[in-house]
Amino acid sequence: MKPFDVYPLYDIEPVRAQGSYVWDDKGNQYLDLYGGHAVISIGHAHPHYVGKLTEQLGKIGFYSNSVRISMQEELAQKLGQLSGYENYDLFLCNSGAEANENALKLASFHNGRKKVIAFTKAFHGRTAGAVAVTHNPSIVAPINYNEHVQFLPFNDADALEAAMNDEICAVIVEGIQGVGGIQVASEDFLQRARKACDGHGAILILDGVQCGYGRSGKFFSHQYAGIHPDLITTAKGMGNGFPIGGVLISPKFKAVHGMLGTTFGGNHLACAAAIAVLDVIKSENLIENARQLGSYLMANLSSLPGIKEVRGRGLMIGIEMEEPAEPIRKKLLYEGHVFTGAAGKHTVRLLPALSLSKEDADLFLQKFEEVIKAVYA
Ligand SMILES: Cc1ncc(COP(=O)(O)O)c(C=O)c1O
């Protein structure tokens, strides 16, 4: 047997990592401005994280959700405190798609409706409901196709208000579109979406899977707009690599035994990882670091040649190049030894650990400039 070949691979195998650096099997060192796709939030192999997980593994790694797991309460309490959502409940699962899947179900259970509004270039995951609200026909299988989903132009509040009616179950939107090219949802758009949902008994779901957990310089990027969604989904940075996702659920939802469930969600190891992440985000002031370093990077990137636009917030940055981005990313990786991400053909996507240092940011800027100059020469 061999792995099912669904990913185009770079021929590099990281075998060790620390902070914002990874090393391959040949001993080469790479600066990581990609964070394993926005997953590494507190830095690779953080000692507090390694310690907490190792200690937990030696005690109890897993038991089912049929018994009390008080670490789930500790996690919910710490997450509520740090995110500012102390009066919300938390449902734990294992991934971003699963978080969105459960959020859509909760919305539909709540108001008994099934029509959902989503937006152009949205990405919400690959499970049945999540992929149905994802705006990419090439990853929607016939069995996932959902005639209840309507796609509207992203950031177009007029179109949203015009489309709202009392049959709409939910509106689902990313605070900052990641796969869609680092497009920030405007404050006006989110505020009007909140009002439109309120006016029609619809549920507002904010997908914070990629833009959440401090990455934007606030705990959730929608907090720049001052809105309170009914449901907020999270995953990626939540476990710093340990698979865990969650739905933050407003007090308007009433839990009924059996309405949601999971085997692995909220297990001891996942909770240990997520608690360690929150401890470090708090003690090292990483949300503020993301805000400052993000502004620093964006200000310095804007003046480089060959760049059409720099978008984003905090350490979620899209650099739209005038020419295709792939040659730049490849040269950065193979010659500059810097990992970056992509979004579409022209955009380099930066999703580093929130613990990125100023020295690492400067090193990236220096290498990026060298590569741009060489590729565009
Ligand atoms: C905004 C957003 N939502 C959901 C997902 C799906 O998360 P997962 O791959 O953990 O299922 C992603 C993954 O990239 C994402 O960026």
**Model pLDDT for residues 160-214, shown as the tens digit of each residue:** 999 999 999 999 999 999 999 999 999 999 999 999 999 999 999 999 999 999 9
301 — pLDDT class (breaks 50, 70, 90): very high
Tell whether ligand 1 has an atom less than 6 A from the beta carbon of residue 96. Answer: yes
| pLDDT reported for residue 80 | 98
> Among the atoms of ligand 1, which is closest to the Cα of residue 122?
1
- Joined together, the tokens standing for residue 90 give 């938390």
Q: Which residues of 103-139 are buried (b: 16+ CB within 10 A; e: fewer)?
A: bbebbbebbebbbbbbbebbbbbbbbbbbbbbbeeee
**Model pLDDT for residues 302-317, shown as the tens digit of each residue:** 999 999 999 999 999 9
**Judgement on whether residues 296 and 171 belong to the same structural domain of the protein:** no
1, part of any domain: no
The Å distance, Cα 242 to ligand 1 centre, comes to 15
Question: Cα(233)–Cα(173) distance, rounded to whole angstroms?
Answer: 10
DSSP per residue, 81-132: HHHT-TTSEEEEESSHHHHHHHHHHHHHHHH---EEEEETT----SSHHHHH
Tell whether ligand 1 has an atom less than 6 A from the beta carbon of residue 244. Answer: no
Tell whether ligand 1 has an atom less than 6 A from the beta carbon of residue 129. Answer: no
Tell whether ligand 1 has an atom less than 6 A from the beta carbon of residue 97. Answer: yes
The Å distance, Cα 210 to ligand 1 centre, comes to 7
**Model pLDDT for residues 249-272, shown as the tens digit of each residue:** 999 999 999 999 999 999 999 999
| pLDDT reported for residue 375 | 87
Tell whether ligand 1 has an atom less than 6 A from the beta carbon of residue 123. Answer: yes
**Model pLDDT for residues 3-34, shown as the tens digit of each residue:** 999 999 999 999 999 999 999 999 999 999 99
- Joined together, the tokens standing for residue 304 give 């480089």
**Judgement on whether residues 227 and 97 belong to the same structural domain of the protein:** yes
| pLDDT reported for residue 336 | 97
> Among the atoms of ligand 1, which is closest to the Cα of residue 100?
4
Tell whether ligand 1 has an atom less than 6 A from the beta carbon of residue 207. Answer: yes
Conformational region of residue 217, where left means phi above 0, alpha means psi within -120 to 50, and beta covers everything else: left
**Model pLDDT for residues 27-50, shown as the tens digit of each residue:** 999 999 999 999 999 999 999 999
Please state, rounded to an integer, the average pLDDT across all residues of the chain.
97
Q: Which residue lies with its CA nearest to atom 4 of ligand 1?
A: 124
Last residue of a domain, one of 236, 268, 283: 283
The Å distance, Cα 123 to ligand 1 centre, comes to 7
For residues 267-296, average pLDDT: 98
**Judgement on whether residues 258 and 315 belong to the same structural domain of the protein:** no
203, part of any domain: yes
Q: CB-based contacts of 243: which residues, under 8 Å, 6+ apart? A: 94, 95, 264, 270
Last residue of a domain, one of 283, 301, 335: 283
- Joined together, the tokens standing for residue 178 give 């990641």
| pLDDT reported for residue 289 | 98
CATH number at residue 293: 3.90.1150.10
For residues 353-369, average pLDDT: 98
| pLDDT reported for residue 332 | 97
| pLDDT reported for residue 216 | 98
**Judgement on whether residues 246 and 334 belong to the same structural domain of the protein:** no
Q: Measure the N-to-C terminal CA separation of the chain; round to a whole number of Å.
A: 46
Last residue of a domain, one of 283, 316, 331: 283
The Å distance, Cα 370 to ligand 1 centre, comes to 32
For residues 203-231, average pLDDT: 98
202, part of any domain: yes
**DSSP state, residue 279:** H
9, part of any domain: no
Domain count, the chain: 2
Neighbours of 36 (CB within 10 A): 18
**Judgement on whether residues 35 and 137 belong to the same structural domain of the protein:** no
145 — pLDDT class (breaks 50, 70, 90): confident
Tell whether ligand 1 has an atom less than 6 A from the beta carbon of residue 118. Answer: no
Q: Which domain holds residue 333?
A: 14-46+285-376
170, part of any domain: yes
377 — pLDDT class (breaks 50, 70, 90): confident
